[in-house]
Amino acid sequence: MEDEAPRTFEERRRCSISNIEALVMKRYVVKTDRCGDIVIHVQGDVSQQDKRAVFLTVHDLGCNHYSFEDFINKPCMSDIKERSIFIHVDVPGHEDNADPLPESFQFPSLQTLGEDLLAVLDFVKVKYVIGLGEGAGANVLARFGLAHPQRTLGLILINCTGSATTVKD
C-alpha cells in the first residue's frame, strides 16, 4: 500500500471547514403561504447538494428536530452524516421554547403541511430531497411526495399510518 502524499495546508483547511460545516446547525425561519412560519435547522453545507444526499426530516407529534438530530449524531451514522445534508423541520408550535400559538392561528392540516414543504426547499435552494419522517411527520412527507414527485428522490417513512392504531394492531 502506497503512502498518500501529504496534503497541503489549503487542502487540510478546506477539509476542516467541510467537517465543521457538517457539525454546525443553522436555524432559519421560512415564511409559508398557508402554514405560517416554519422553523428549519440545516445540518451540513447546502452548497454541496450536487455531491451529497439531501434529507428532509419531519418529526412526530410532541417532538421536534432534536429527535432526528440525536439519531443522526449517533456514532453509527457518522459515514452517512459525512456524505449527507439534513434539513430538519420543526412543525409550527413544536420548536424549542416555542411560545403558545395565537388563538387566531389555524393549525394546518397534514395535507397543507406536506404541500407547503416546497417553500422550505425553495428557501434553501434545494432541488430534491429524500424524505425521512416518523409518525405524523411520515404522513406529512407522504403527502409532500405525492404533491411534489419531481422534488422527491425517495421517502423513508416510519410508522406512517392514516389512522390511529392500537396495541391490538
Q: With helix as H, strand as E and coil as C, how does 40-74 read?
A: EEEECCHHHCCCCEEEEEECCCCCCCHHHHHHHCC
Indicate the domain borders of the chain: 20-158
Give the model confidence (pLDDT) of 133-147 as tens digits: 999 999 999 999 999
Q: Please list, in sequence order, all residues whose beta carbon lies within 8 angstroms of the beta carbon of residue 168, skipping any fewer than 6 positions away.
A: none
Distance separating alpha carbons of residues 134 and 60, to the nearest angstrom: 5
pLDDT in tens, 22-78: 557 899 999 998 988 999 999 999 999 999 999 999 998 877 777 888 888 889 998
- What is the reported pTM? 0.79
φ, ψ at 37 (rounded to 5°): -85, 130
Topology annotation, domain 20-158: Rossmann fold (3.40.50)
Cα–Cα distance measured from residue 38 to residue 31, given in angstroms and rounded to the nearest whole number: 6
151 pLDDT exceeds 60?
yes
How many C-alpha atoms does 130 have within 13 Å on its Cβ side? 10
